[in-house]
């Protein structure tokens, strides 16, 4: 029975844990996901050497605070640490110590500038060992990012430390400030490619210009885990067609040029996926949406969503909508508005070519301020945006759906991607779109617009039809003799000669120029205070000489005048040395001479007279008797009179002034009027006022001045030392 009870308790605990976990998961899905909410360990490694200077270090601290506001701080979100280094690194802010933005910002503002030399490699190794490796969240599950900010060449090796950190899964950004930084060293610190992970600015004031760029790059590392291969390498982003595995779901068809692959989407296929699987951490603040597609027939007169992200209740929070009725393109994204969304519509004439039943590529460059539409590499229109917010991930992401419906539209598609790096917009081309005349599509053929300045390389066209076989030609006449032949081939090369004798040894080179003297090292720290030494042995007390007679007493002061100074006493003669006696136990030195008599103290001055006491205050006036009337209640007694005020203290012994008289008591209540009758009983007399407090006594008179004390006479000479033995006779005391 006991075992069954324990089993039930275990089951209940497990159920409670599961319910709590599901509740937390539901709360997470109800939250808007973006770079602010992503989980990451982010460490800033700051150069604190002498070359930075305290003024510039304050700029760095403000820069840190501004970047920090881009993230939610907490154990489930971003945890930030700060390492400052010069000769040696120190931890200014431990990773994950502050779980609120206010506390973190306060800690950043209180960082003190170090000063010293520049050892960047040691600092990277220190951050890897002491912060990342000790993080409670471990190396898996969250992004681990380090940002190194330096303004000079390191005085130690950086490459090995950076490579070791990367092997541990740490992503490193390098920011060089000023002309003293070296490109090769910064490239060794940062990840590859350097165009993404290495930055340069002219001075510390200029780091504010790259704040948004650094924030965007940090966001890309956290919300965009995958890379998409492109012509010039790869870039972080989402290849939606690849993720939806269209190769297994749809029929392949001919693309925009010979050999290009496309997919035929039909109404029988549902291209939907959980947003939590596609975009588990949301989207970055800036990105590039690009698609290459073609659609025909009645669809060009329909309104449909090429791409949309819905909430859990089916409402679109992000969408790219093609409207065949109005021949325009609408972009929907998130907003802080009560509706939660904002919409902009592109209506410029060149955008209408998307509805001509041919292959086209269009891009949207989305930032926090605006969105720009490109069609076949041509910039069409720019529309403003309010700053967007994160997305809810508890709904679905869908491709090719009619507006407000779950039905799939039929169309052909080659590409559907989201690039997290907004700079990819400048590298992306529409080379997969050939023009009717066989040239590359750098602009629409039916609209008078300028082509892009750098045409792309055209893809190869389909092979041509085989040509017709030609007729057999007649035999020609024999040809004339040709010109004389050229000279014959060169002869066989000779055997290799015997090596010559070794040349004489070269003279020793001159000594190279001495290198520049290194920077003076920082003064060493003060050593620890030593342990206090043992106390030395006490010295033997010196013998005390006899005192001479003191001077006579000074005359007493008269009428406040200072008495005459006593004369200096004459020293007494030295005592006769004692006769030598037998050795004894206690005898060491002869006894000192007797102390001279102490001078008499001068007579004290006459004390002043005591002040007289103040007179008592007058008693209060008694209350009046109540008026007679009909027999009734007796009048109430008068209130007690207030105490008389205290008399002021007399100066120099004069008596204080008398206190004021107390207030009279109030009259008794008047009897009610009526018929004359017997005289009423007289009311009791009012209480007498309390006597006033006696005045304070006068100040005592000033005492007479005391005559100066006679000086002590000079001490007599010390008696001679007796020999060891019994006590010698006492020397004759000084006079």
Domains and CATH numbers, the chain: 40-223 (3.40.50.410), 229-427 (2.60.120.200)
Lowest-pLDDT range, 12-16, 239-243, 479-483? 12-16
Residue with more model confidence, 125 or 535: 125
Predicted confidence at residue 470, as pLDDT, reads 53
Query: Pairing relation of β-strands 328-334 and 316-323?
Result: antiparallel
SS (H, E, C) 301-356: HCEEEEEEEECCCCCEEEEEEEECCCCEEEEEEECCCCCCEEEEEECCHHHHHHHC
CB 131 within 8 A of CB 91: yes
The string of pLDDT tens digits covering residues 182-215 is 999 999 999 999 989 999 999 999 999 999 999 9
Which of the four pLDDT bands, split at 50, 70 and 90, describes residue 693? Answer: low
pLDDT of 672 above 50: no
Tokens of 221: 């590392």
Predicted confidence at residue 80, as pLDDT, reads 95
| 3 three-state secondary structure | helix
For the chain, the average pLDDT equals 74
Instruction: Identify the CA nearest to 115 among candidates 98, 90, 133, 148.
Output: 90
Lowest-pLDDT range, 10-24, 80-94, 279-293, 374-388? 10-24
DSSP labels, 457-486: PPPP-PPPPPPPPPPPPPPPPPPPPPPPPP
Cis status of the peptide bond prior to 722, with omega within 30 of 0: no
DSSP strands (E only) in 204-245: 227-230, 233-239
33-37, 491-495, 513-517, 532-536: which has the highest mean pLDDT? 33-37
Which of the four pLDDT bands, split at 50, 70 and 90, describes residue 91? Answer: very high
Q: Which residues of 282-305 are buried (b: 16+ CB within 10 A; e: fewer)?
A: bbbbbbbbbbbbbbeeebeeebbb
Non-local CB neighbours of 154 within 8 Å, separated by 6+ positions: 118, 119, 120, 121, 185
pLDDT of 450 above 60: no
User: Is the entire prediction scored with pTM above 0.75?
Assistant: no
How many degrees, rounded to 5, is the angle at CA 444 between CA 439 and CA 446? 105
d(CA 291, CA 456): 18
Predicted confidence at residue 364, as pLDDT, reads 97
What percentage of the chain reaches a pLDDT higher than 90? 46
Residue with more model confidence, 603 or 60: 60
d(CA 365, CA 385): 12
| 78 three-state secondary structure | strand
Query: Pairing relation of β-strands 411-419 and 261-265?
Result: antiparallel
- Cα-Cα end-to-end distance for the chain: 111
d(CA 691, CA 643): 6
The string of pLDDT tens digits covering residues 257-274 is 888 899 999 999 999 999
φ/ψ of residue 434, rounded to 5:
-80, 150
d(CA 153, CA 150): 8
| 366 three-state secondary structure | strand
Q: Which helix (H) or strand (E) holds 363?
A: strand 360-366
Mean pLDDT of 684-691: 52
pLDDT of 133 above 60: yes
d(CA 597, CA 99): 82
Which of the four pLDDT bands, split at 50, 70 and 90, describes residue 550? Answer: very low
Mean pLDDT of 604-618: 48
Residue with more model confidence, 616 or 139: 139
Cα–Cα distances in Å, from 568 out to 284, 394, 422, 571, 593?
A: 100, 108, 103, 9, 19
Predicted confidence at residue 608, as pLDDT, reads 46
Beta sheet of 341-346, edge-to-edge order = 272-274, 396-402, 303-310, 316-323, 328-334, 341-346
pLDDT of 729 above 70: no
Predicted confidence at residue 434, as pLDDT, reads 76
Q: What is the maximum alpha-carbon separation in the chain?
A: 186
Predicted confidence at residue 501, as pLDDT, reads 58
d(CA 252, CA 243): 16
Cα–Cα distances in Å, from 200 out to 174, 179, 191, 210, 347?
A: 9, 9, 15, 9, 40
Lowest-pLDDT range, 28-32, 37-41, 55-59, 60-64? 28-32
């Amino acid at each position: 029975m006991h075992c069954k009870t324990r089993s039930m308790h275990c089951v209940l605990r497990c159920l409670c844990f599961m319910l709590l976990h599901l509740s937390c998961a539901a709360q997470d899905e109800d939250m808007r996901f973006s770079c602010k909410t992503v989980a990451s360990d982010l460490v800033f490694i700051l150069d604190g050497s002498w070359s930075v200077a305290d003024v510039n270090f304050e700029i760095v601290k403000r820069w840190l605070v501004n970047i920090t506001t881009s993230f939610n701080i907490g154990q489930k979100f971003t945890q930030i640490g700060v390492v400052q280094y010069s000769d040696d690194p120190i931890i200014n802010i431990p990773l994950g110590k502050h779980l609120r933005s206010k506390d973190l910002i306060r800690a950043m503002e209180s960082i003190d500038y170090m000063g010293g030399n520049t050892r960047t490699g040691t600092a990277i190794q220190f951050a890897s060992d002491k912060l990342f490796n000790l993080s409670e969240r471990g190396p898996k599950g969250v992004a681990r990012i380090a940002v190194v900010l330096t303004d000079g060449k390191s005085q130690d090796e950086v490459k090995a430390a950076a490579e070791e950190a990367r092997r541990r899964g740490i992503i490193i950004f390098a920011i060089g400030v000023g002309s003293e930084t070296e490109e090769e060293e910064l490239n060794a610190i940062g990840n590859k490619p350097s165009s993404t992970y290495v930055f340069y600015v002219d001075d510390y004031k200029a780091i504010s210009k790259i704040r948004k760029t650094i924030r965007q790059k940090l966001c890309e590392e956290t919300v965009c885990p995958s890379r998409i291969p492109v012509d010039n390498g790869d870039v972080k982003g989402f290849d939606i067609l690849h993720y939806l595995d269209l190769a297994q779901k749809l029929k392949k068809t001919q693309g925009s040029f010979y050999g290009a692959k496309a997919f035929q989407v039909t109404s029988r296929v549902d291209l939907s996926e959980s947003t939590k699987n596609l975009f588990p951490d949301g989207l970055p603040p800036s990105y590039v949406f690009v698609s290459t597609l073609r659609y025909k027939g009645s669809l060009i007169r329909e309104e449909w969503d090429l791409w949309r992200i819905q909430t859990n209740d089916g409402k679109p929070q992000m969408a790219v909508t093609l409207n065949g009725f109005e021949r325009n393109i609408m972009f929907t994204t998130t907003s802080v508005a009560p509706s939660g969304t904002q919409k902009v519509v592109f209506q410029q004439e060149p955008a209408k070519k998307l509805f001509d039943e041919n292959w086209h590529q269009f891009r949207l460059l989305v930032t926090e301020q605006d969105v720009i539409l490109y069609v076949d590499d041509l910039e069409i229109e720019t529309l403003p945006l309010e700053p967007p917010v994160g997305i809810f991930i508890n709904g679905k992401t869908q491709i090719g759906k009619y507006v407000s419906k779950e039905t799939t539209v039929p169309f052909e598609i080659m590409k559907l991607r989201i690039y997290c790096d907004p700079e990819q917009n400048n590298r992306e081309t529409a080379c997969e779109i050939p023009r009717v005349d066989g040239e590359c599509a750098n602009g629409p053929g039916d609209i008078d617009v300028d082509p892009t300045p750098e045409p792309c390389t055209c893809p190869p066209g389909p092979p041509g039809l085989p040509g017709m076989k030609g007729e057999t030609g007649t035999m020609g006449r024999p040809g004339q003799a040709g010109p004389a032949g050229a000279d014959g081939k060169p002869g066989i090369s000779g055997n290799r000669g015997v090596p010559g004798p070794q040349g004489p040894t070269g003279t020793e080179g001159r000594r190279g120029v001495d290198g520049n003297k290194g920077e003076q090292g920082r003064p060493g720290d003060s050593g620890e205070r030593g342990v206090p030494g043992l106390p030395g042995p006490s010295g033997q007390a010196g013998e005390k000489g006899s005192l001479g007679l003191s001077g006579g007493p000074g005359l007493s002061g008269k009428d406040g005048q200072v008495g005459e100074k006593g004369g200096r006493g004459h020293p007494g003669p030295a005592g006769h040395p004692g006769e030598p006696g037998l050795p004894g136990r206690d005898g060491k030195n002869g006894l000192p001479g007797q102390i001279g008599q102490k001078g008499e103290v001068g007579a004290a001055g006459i004390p002043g007279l005591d002040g007289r006491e103040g007179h008592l205050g007058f008693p209060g006036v008694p209350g009046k008797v109540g008026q007679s009337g009909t027999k009734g209640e007796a009048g109430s007694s008068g209130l007690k009179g207030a105490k008389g005020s205290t008399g002021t203290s007399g100066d120099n012994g004069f008596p204080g002034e008398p206190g004021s008289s107390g207030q009279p008591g109030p009259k008794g209540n008047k009897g009610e009027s009526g018929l004359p009758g017997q005289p009423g009983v007289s009311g009791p007399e009012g209480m007498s006022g309390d006597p006033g407090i006696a005045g304070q006594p006068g100040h005592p008179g000033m005492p007479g001045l005391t005559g100066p004390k006679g000086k002590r006479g000079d001490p007599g000479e010390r008696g001679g030392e007796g020999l060891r033995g019994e006590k010698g006779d006492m020397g004759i005391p000084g006079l």
